[in-house]
Each structure stands twice: as C-alpha cells, then as structure tokens.
C-alpha cells in the first residue's frame, strides 16, 4: 500500500506467494486508517476510517485507476468515522 501525491495505491507489489490476505490498521497521511482484504490477488474489501476525500484517486494492482467514491458505489470500500 502506498499513498503519494494524492493517489492511493492498493496492492502495488503483491507477491504471488501471498494470493490471499489482509492488512489492518494501516495508517496514511491525514489521520486516515485502512483495513484491506484481498483474495486470489484481487482487492475484495477496504474499510476506510478518516477524512480522506471520496475524490481521491485509487490504483489497484498497478492497473485500475478509479476513485474512492466509485469503489464505495461498487461496495468495495466501506467508510467509518
């Protein structure tokens, strides 16, 4: 997971040896915290706590570029306060 220049990169360098897994309590700038779950190398769920903008760009597995708002609509991202 990386956060740079207003873009959040999720699973940018996931090793093939870790096809399934999760990270909890990952901190990113601005008092934000993420919990991430992936399966078969694909992002399944993100719990986002904090004020990160819904317009923040997100790149997944170095390929898909979207926004947090779009991932919320698809049910991938869940926001908590």
How many domains would you assign to the chain? 1
Which domain does 74 fall in, by range?
2-80
| Contact indicator for 49, 28 with CB cutoff of 8 Å | no
> Looking at residue 71, what is its pLDDT?
93
What long-range pairs does 23-27 form, CB within 8 A, spacing at least 24?
Answer: 26/1
Task: Give the angle subtended at the CA of 18 by the CAs of 81 and 73, to the nearest 5°.
Answer: 35
**39: domain CATH number?**
2.60.40.1180
> Looking at residue 63, what is its pLDDT?
87
Q: What is the pLDDT along the chain (81 residues), one digit of tens a residue?
A: 899 888 999 999 999 999 999 999 999 998 999 999 999 999 999 999 999 999 999 999 888 899 999 999 999 999 986
Instruction: Give me 35's structure tokens.
Output: 């919990």
């Amino acid at each position: 997971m990386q956060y740079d220049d207003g873009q959040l990169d999720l699973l940018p360098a996931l090793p093939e040896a870790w096809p399934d897994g999760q990270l909890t309590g990952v901190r990113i700038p601005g008092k934000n915290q993420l919990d991430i779950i992936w399966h078969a190398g694909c992002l399944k769920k993100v719990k986002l706590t904090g004020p990160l903008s819904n317009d923040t760009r997100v790149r997944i597995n170095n390929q898909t570029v979207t926004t947090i708002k779009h991932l919320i609509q698809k049910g991938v991202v869940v926001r908590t306060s």
